Amino acid sequence: MTILIKLAAWAGKPRASVIFVHGLGGHAYETWRSKPDDDSFWPLWLAQEVEGLAVYTLGYAAPPSNWLGTAMPLQDRARNLLERLFSESRLKDGPVTFVCHSLGGLLVKQIMLDLQLQKGSRPEAADLLERITQVVFLATPHTGSRHANWLDRLRFFAWPTSIARTLVANDPTLRAINVNYRGLAEERRDTLRHRIFYETQGTPIGVIVDEASADPGLPGFPPIPIDADHIKIAKPAGRTALQYLRTRDFLAEVPKPMEPATGYLSYPLPKIELEQPWNLIPKLIRIAALLLVCAIAYKGVQALITPIDGAKIEQKLDEQNAQLKAQSDLIRQLLAQSATKPLPGAERAIGEAVAAAGKGAAEGDERMKSALKLLQENKVAEAEQLFHAVAVDKEARAKQNRQEAASAYRNLGAIAGLRDPKRALEAYTKAMENDPEDLESLIWVASLELERGDVPKAETHFQQVLKLATSTNREWYIEWAKIGIGDVLVAQGNLPDALKAYRDGLAIRDRLAKSDPGHLGWQRDLSVSYDRIGDVLVAQGNLPEALKAYRDGLAIRDRLAKSDPGHLGWQRDLTVSYDRIGDVLVAQGNLPEALKAYRDDLAISERLAQSDPGHLGWQRDLSVSYDRIGDVLVAQGNLPEALKAYRDGLGISERLAQSDPGNAGWQRDLAVSYAKLGAIYRKNKDKTKALGMLQQGLAIMLRMTQLSPDNAQWKNDVVWFERQITELKH
């Protein structure tokens, strides 16, 4: 029995409908209150404090053990709850929010995945999915619970229900739900938001859902730790409790209706009697089985002191020999009935198939039992259908395993990318091989390939991301694909099309950032788009517009960096903006302001590089800062200080290039360092040193153009080095 009870509402159209969903062994009322009275029933607190809310609670049977009653499997219960929601006419208008405890969160995720599958065929599903805008997870075991493992290990005695068995740690069903829900959340990140809370205190048997399992890895705010155990996290001690305050504020973000809400009303709580069958016969059978186990255990102890029964062993061997003979006879029978000439190895292949059927039958697979019987009756076509069904099932499980492997390699890539882009590319490539349609892996592979100078491969993978993301309407990946394609077009020298791609990406990012100004990730993405557009405008000679784009990006990054001074990534973003602004100021002839911008960059880059000397990306940033300062000092005529800056940059560039000879970006950085020092020596009339530097730079660029002949920038670099060397020799 499933019930949906309306607890409170305001007159008129609801601002939002909030539905509380309890967990395993929970109750529509008792889960949410610490005392048997309405004063501690916090769903009513929310209705009172957030004007216009309509608040409901769902009740359903979810006993942890069959000794206490029966429970549907998770997917069936989710469909059951969904149909109950469809049948509630009062839920057909306005935004919907779910507040879920424990198992309730898993059910809500499955409900939303079901809605996504049905939206094309059921208008009511598409409508409800669109109106679900908020989900609150309280101690939800997104990847299972170690305590559920004990229920599973002791299942003969504990007799867990099917829904309880699903909660074991790393259960494939939970992994599939979590992975698919992440995709849904990413796809709807502009309309669907989450609040996540996790327990930090243990019950008498320990922490039920640890932090790792309580974090589903969704976009938005990080999970919030709560000073409570698994039960009390759903029972705030008062209206000042953190989980209550943050949930209340979260719900208050829903826009108010045009007309002010009036007439708050709470409804009497009806008595709930969830009918549970006695299950008398199954319980008696289970008790009898337990008694039998005890008897067998007793006999096992006796067997330890009883002589071995040789006759029984001989009988067992005879039975095994008979089975082998039956299999051999069946193989010969099937070969004799073959409609085609048997290929080499056919007897062995058929033998393996028959043995597999026998093994499956022995393990209780009814399809293999039937297939074996059909083969014995020469009904090969019917048996083939059963073998096909088994193969399809195993293929599906193998696909799930491949997705899990892809996830593991993505995790490896994320960690490797902190220090070594080469190892990150290797890991993301393995992830892509395991799951070719995984957009996250694809976009990382494309970005890292482009960074290494492999433009054709990068273009292929960015186009693949765009195609897949467009087919599934995943906007965040669409805009990143457009930015990546713009980067490829820049590398190919196609600036007009690159600018169009960047502006297409900017339009999407601007819309997302305006839809949620508090979403810091979207604000950061918007600043990246301004940088890319500025880069193309610089290349086209439109310096005023380029400077405006860079300063728009800097304004965003400055706000982000000030909001969290300890966020090293945002500090690094600031250096990028200072660099680009300095470059434009140099081109405009404003050397003092350019030098100031570069020194602002250097101050941050030095702090970052010193904080983690093994972070190769930050070392590279530092070398670029030295080079830019050297450029301005040369233009100002301060050659001694410029030479020092260039040498500082060269030392870093040489170490990076030696650490990864395949990194085209770092190889070109080294060539640029040689070029800058060559220019200084030339100004100082040191022709020998100047020529040596230029020849080393040319050698690097010639190697790179052999690897990627279509790279327009590298070909221009070769021409520049050759011209400088020719001028120096004459």
| Concatenated DSSP letters of 125-187 | HHHHHHHEEEEEEES--TT-BHHHHHHHHTHHHH-B-HHHHTTBTT-HHHHHHHHHHHHHHHH
Cβ proximity of 357 and 366 under 8 Å: no
C-alpha pair distances (Å), 686 with each of 505, 682, 692: 48, 6, 10
As a whole number, the mean pLDDT across the chain is 82
pLDDT tens-digit map of 35-81? 877 688 999 999 999 999 999 999 998 887 766 666 788 888 899 89
Calculate ∠ Cα 10-14-18, nearest 5°: 95
Count the neighbouring beta carbons within 10 Å of the beta carbon of residue 551: 15
Instruction: Answer yes or no: is pLDDT of 182 > 50.
Output: yes
Q: Which fold has domain 660-730?
A: Methane Monooxygenase Hydroxylase; Chain G, domain 1 (1.20.58)
SS3 content of the chain, % helix, strand, coil (to 5): 65, 10, 25
Classify burial at 19, counting beta carbons within 10 Å of its beta carbon; exposed 0-12, middle 13-18, buried 19 or more.
buried
Quote the CA–CA distance of 579 and 594 in Å, as a whole number: 9
Residue 217: per-residue pLDDT = 83
Of 147-156, 369-378, 684-693, the one with minimum mean pLDDT is: 147-156
Is residue 570 very low, low, confident or very high in pLDDT (cuts 50, 70, 90)? confident
- Report DSSP state, residue 65: B
Span 717-726, average pLDDT: 92
Asked if the model's pLDDT at residue 120 lies above 90, the reply is no
Percent of the chain scoring above 90 in pLDDT: 34
Helices marked H in 256-365 — which ranges? 280-304, 310-336, 346-362
Least confident residue range of 112-126, 511-525, 715-729? 511-525
The pLDDT value recorded for residue 325 is: 66
Reported confidence tier of residue 449, pLDDT bands at 50, 70, 90: confident
Asked if 134 and 95 count as a contact pair (C-beta separation under 8 A), the reply is: yes
Please name which of 340, 377, 403 lies closest in space to residue 386, comparing C-alpha atoms: 377
Pairing relationship of beta strands 53-59 and 3-11 according to DSSP bridges: antiparallel
Most confident segment among 10-14, 202-206, 387-391: 10-14
pLDDT-derived band at 603 (thresholds 50, 70, 90) equals very high
The pLDDT score that the predictor gives to residue 343 is: 46
Mean pLDDT of the region 574-599: 92
The answer to whether 634 touches 644, Cβ cutoff 8 Å, is no
Q: Give the best-scoring range by mean pLDDT among 58-67, 259-268, 506-515, 616-625.
A: 616-625
Nearest to 88 by CA among 39, 124, 116, 63: 124
Cβ atoms of 669 and 685 closer than 8 Å = no
Residue range 503-509: mean pLDDT, rounded: 84
- What is the enclosing helix (H) or strand (E) of 530? helix 520-539
Tens digit of each residue's pLDDT (9 = 90 or more) over 525-551: 889 889 989 988 988 889 999 999 999
> What CATH fold (topology level) applies to the domain 3-252?
Rossmann fold (3.40.50)
Q: Each residue of 244-267: pLDDT tens digit? A: 999 999 999 998 876 666 778 888
pLDDT at 305: 46
Contact (Cβ atoms closer than 8 angstroms) between residue 210 and residue 16: no
**Quick check: helix, strand or coil at residue 17?**
strand
Q: Which residue has the higher pLDDT, 397 or 318?
A: 397
Q: Per-residue pLDDT tens for 388-406?
A: 777 777 767 766 777 777 7
CA distances to 138, 159, 299, 427, 531 from 289, rounded to whole Å, are 38, 12, 15, 50, 71
The structure tokens listed for 379 are 């009904």
594 confidence band (pLDDT: 50, 70, 90): very high
pLDDT at position 107 is 95
Residue that is written with structure tokens 């669907």 in the block: 192
3-state SS class at 227: coil
| Top-ranked range on mean pLDDT: pick from 296-300, 468-472, 635-639 | 635-639
| Rounded Cα distance, 402 and 304, in Å | 46
Over pLDDT 70: what percentage of the chain? Answer: 83
Cα 521 to chain centroid distance, Å, stands at: 15
Mean pLDDT of 29-36: 88
CA distances (Å), origin 610, targets 309, 477, 614: 75, 34, 9
CA dihedral 518, 522, 524, 529 (to 10 degrees): -140
Parallel, antiparallel or unpaired: strands 96-101 and 224-226 = unpaired
Q: Is 542 exposed, middle or buried (0-12, 13-18, 19+ CB in 10 A)?
A: middle
Residue 322 — pLDDT band, cuts 50, 70, 90?
low
State the burial class of residue 369 (Cβ atoms within 10 Å of its Cβ: 0-12, 13-18, 19+). middle
The whole-number pLDDT of residue 376 equals 80
Q: Is the pLDDT confidence value at 302 over 50?
A: no
What does the pLDDT average to over 151-169? 64
Q: If residue 487 lies in a helix (H) or strand (E), which one and from where to where?
A: helix 475-491
Statement: residue 320 has pLDDT above 80: no
* Type of residue at 513: A
List the chain domain ranges.
3-252, 278-306, 660-730
Compute the average pLDDT of residues 555-581: 88
Q: Which residue has the higher pLDDT, 436 or 355?
A: 436
Taking each helix axis as running N to C, give the angle between helix 74-86 and helix 123-131, from 0 to 180 degrees, rounded to the nearest 10. 90
Q: Determine the Cα angle at 535 with ends 638 and 584, to 5°.
A: 30
Query: What is the reported pLDDT for 62?
Result: 84
Give yes or no for residue 699 having a pLDDT over 80.
yes
Provide the pLDDT for residue 724: 92
Question: If DSSP codes are grouped into helix, strand and coil, which group holds residue 637?
Answer: coil
CA neighbor of 76 nearest in space, from 105, 48, 114, 130: 114
Helix orientation angle between 520-539 and 475-491, rounded to the nearest 10 degrees: 20
Instruction: Calculate mean pLDDT across residues 89-109.
Output: 93
CB 144 within 8 A of CB 212: no
pLDDT at 280: 47
Ordered DSSP codes for 573-628? HHHHHHHHHHHHHHHTT-HHHHHHHHHHHHHHHHHHHHH-TT-HHHHHHHHHHHHH
CA-closest candidate to residue 372, choices 327, 321, 316 = 327
